[in-house]
A and B are shown apart, each in its own frame.
Chain A
Amino acid sequence: MIQVNGLCKTFGEVRALDNLDMHVEAGSIYGLVGPNGAGKTTLLQHVAGVMRPDAGSVLVAGEPVYESPQVKERMSYVPSDFYFFHQARVSDMQALHASLFPRFDEARFGSLIAAYELDPRRQVRALSKGMQKQLAFCLALACSPDVLLLDEPLDGLDPMARHSVLGHVMEEVASRQMTVLVSSHNLRELADICDHVGIMQNGHMCLERSLEDLQGGFVKVQVAFAQESDAVPQGLDIVHQERQGRLHTLVVRGAASAVEDLLTQQGATFVNVLPLSLEEIFIYEIGGAQHEER
């Protein structure tokens, strides 16, 4: 659904995006992770078609997105700092979107703002920051987009609002196969909602994986042998190890059952597989990717 190839963008001296590739399948929820300044927002702005690439291409549904109203009609973008007209009321923003997006669904908008208890007569400026964000979500979803772009969408929302905003997005994904591209620096936040992740660093895509592959790729295991020894079990692709007396803690590439079998064969008296959090997986994946590049 979204294809980015060799995208470069320079602001003055700063190389914000450096030969970046990204592939997002239709109907998937793609999480874009990276430290501050990695270029996540710049990338989203290119996918939204509001920035012109220096080099490379950005295709949405097979079409270059820059200056293409036909493609943009089918997309909604919730930036982290959205713009509302001075003195605009909620109903004015509704009218503006309805005039720009032919697929704008007035009834849907009405039920969404009712769910968040947003009064259409209120001035947007007078709403709290969190409520403005909820309004931006209502507007974006009412456009019935095929592609939804979210930049740090949950910042500034209370837990209740987070849950209902995500719930509404998930409903659209399930019922209409909507594609979502969402950026965050918070991995935990993304782990619950994404099925694919891309990790960015210094304007470059370090790796793109499905969550399924990530979770099945590593095993963390505690193991003890009858004899205390420095010897590390053979035949395993170990990415990390610690030892406290008799007890080794290993992080191994591979499937849990295979690793367990192998350790038992080598005379382990105690084998315990531990769950590995997504944060840990990322640390080892990124470590591995950088290692391969060297």
Chain B
Amino acid sequence: MISIDSRDPRPLYEQVVDNFRKLIVAGALQADDKLPSVRSLASQLAINPNTIQRAYRELEAQGYVYSSAGRGSFVASSGETNELHRQELLTQFDGLVAELEDVGITRDQLMARLKKGGAR
């Protein structure tokens, strides 16, 4: 379901979090779908079960999944995950705007571009 890149310098749990977040945002995992059990994912990826537990806790803290005692982790409702996705894209947008300003593009130029319909 997800894969781990051993050349990626980020900590493993971050990679697991990111993989699932992408699947949820893209709609490959939908509301109330069950995430794989810690045990099956640990043996399949050959990584520490505690790492997966930690990643699931992080996904829950971010609001992408909810857990049910004894039953496992499930994808949160799409309303919530869509809102999280919007927030994430807007943060990326802010970063990009700051970078564009660094290279000398003014807000007016950006506004004009947005009104024209962006790159389309």
Q: Which residues of A contact B (CB under 8 A)?
A: 27-29, 162-164, 166-168, 170-171, 173-175, 188, 191-195, 211-212, 215, 275-277
* Contact A194–B43 (Cβ < 8 Å): no
The residue on A at minimum CB distance from B53 is: A174
Interface residues of B in 14-61 (CB under 8 A from A): 38-39, 42-51, 54
Docked Cα-Cα span, A188 to B47, in Å, equals: 12
* Contact A195–B48 (Cβ < 8 Å): yes
Which of B10, B45, B48 makes the CB contact (< 8 A) with A29? B48
State how many angstroms separate the Cβ of A222 from the closest Cβ of chain B.
15
Which residues from chain B contact A193 at a C-beta distance below 8 Å? 46-48
Give the interface size bracket for B toward A.
Answer: 10 to 19
* Contact A175–B39 (Cβ < 8 Å): yes
Whether, in the assembled complex, B104 has its beta carbon less than 8 Å from a beta carbon of chain A, the answer is: no
Which residues from chain A contact B6 at a C-beta distance below 8 Å? 188, 192
Interface residues of B in 38-91 (CB under 8 A from A): 38-39, 42-51, 54
Which residues from chain B contact A27 at a C-beta distance below 8 Å? 50
Also in contact, A171 and B39, with CB within 8 A (given A29-B48, A193-B47, A195-B48): yes
* Contact A170–B47 (Cβ < 8 Å): yes
Docked Cα-Cα span, A227 to B42, in Å, equals: 50
The SS class assigned to the B binding surface is helix
State how many angstroms separate the Cβ of B101 from the closest Cβ of chain A.
12
Which residues from chain B contact A277 at a C-beta distance below 8 Å? 9
The residue on A at minimum CB distance from B43 is: A171
Identify 5 new A-B residue pairs, CB closer than 8 A, beyond the known A166-B47, A168-B43: A162-B46, A170-B42, A170-B49, A175-B39, A277-B9
Which of A28, A29, A170, A195 makes the CB contact (< 8 A) with B43? A170
State how many angstroms separate the Cβ of A165 from the closest Cβ of chain B.
8
Which residues from chain B contact A28 at a C-beta distance below 8 Å? 50
Also in contact, A174 and B51, with CB within 8 A (given A167-B44, A275-B9, A277-B9): no
Which residues from chain B contact A168 at a C-beta distance below 8 Å? 43
Which residues from chain B contact A212 at a C-beta distance below 8 Å? 54
Docked Cα-Cα span, A194 to B51, in Å, equals: 9
The residue on B at minimum CB distance from A212 is: B54
Docked Cα-Cα span, A211 to B47, in Å, equals: 13
* Contact A192–B43 (Cβ < 8 Å): no
Docked Cα-Cα span, A104 to B38, in Å, equals: 25
* Contact A275–B10 (Cβ < 8 Å): yes
State how many angstroms separate the Cβ of B46 from the closest Cβ of chain A.
4
* Contact A194–B48 (Cβ < 8 Å): yes
